[in-house]
Amino acid sequence: MLEVRNLCAAYGGPDVLSSVTLDVKAGETVAVLGANTAGKTTLLRAISGLIPKARGHIAFEGTALMGRPAHAIPGLGIGHVPEGRHVFPRMTTLDNLKMGAFLHRGAGDIPARIERVFALFPRLRERQGQMAGSMSGGEQQMVSIGRALMGQPKLLLLDEPSHGLAPIVVDELHEAIGAINRQGVSVLLVEQNAMLALSVAHRGYVLEAGHVVLAGAAAELSADPGIRRAYLGV
């Protein structure tokens, strides 16, 4: 579904991604693990057309993405949940969700899509009239994911959804990620919390200073003693 080949990216200085190659197959959840500054966010931003200096090859369902403007990417079926959530703080939860359908391919049934988001995150139904900026961090993450789902993506890019959240909320979010995947949406999940990411992913890649240094099935990665020491902190 998603093919990334020899992707290099920079912000004006040296490359922060060096020849990164990875795939996401239809129906998969794939984790990208790595320490701070490994380049995980840059990878997702490059897929979404947000890194002008990216080089290499990215294709989604056979369509080349390089050189396409960022606003054209969601319409192809790629939803992006950015690091830091970026909800519209002075809009209600419901209006944030509706904004996610704004650039959507096809007319579609917006109330039905909202209903699907509420089924996934019942708390958002309760809080639909509340300003998103006054919600808790976990609730804002739910709004951000829900907003991306309103575009009916085939592939969801999730950037550190658990960052800064209490463990109980993190568990809730990861259950939701599993449910989203079971509904047929492929997921590319960036996480520093490697154990958690591997518990929902089918496969994983480890990024170190802009290079893919390891790749494998989630079960293999989480069982490997070297990886457990280096990346899982156990």
Binding interface with ligand ATP (CB under 6 A): 11, 16, 34, 36-42, 83, 192
Rounded to a whole number of angstroms, the minimum distance from the CB of residue 193 to ligand ATP is 11
DSSP, collapsed to helix, strand or coil, labels residue 208 as strand
Handedness of CA 40, 221, 77, 134 (dihedral sign): negative
Amino acid at 76: L
Tell the smallest beta-carbon distance from residue 90 to ligand ATP (Å). 25
Q: What is the smallest separation between the CB atom of 44 and ligand ATP, expressed in angstroms?
A: 8
Read off the amino acid at residue 86: H
| Nearest to ligand ATP of 93, 140 (CB atom) | 140
- Compare residues 41 and 140 and give the one whose CB is closer to ligand ATP: 41
Read off φ and ψ for residue 205, nearest 5 degrees: -125, 145
The nearer residue to ligand ATP, 13 or 184, going by C-beta atoms, is: 13
In the 8-state DSSP scheme, what is residue 72? Answer: G
The Cα 103–Cα 142 span in angstroms is 20
Shorter beta-carbon distance to ligand ATP: residue 152 or 162? 162
CB 180 within 8 A of CB 144: no
CB of 69 to ligand ATP, least distance (A): 18
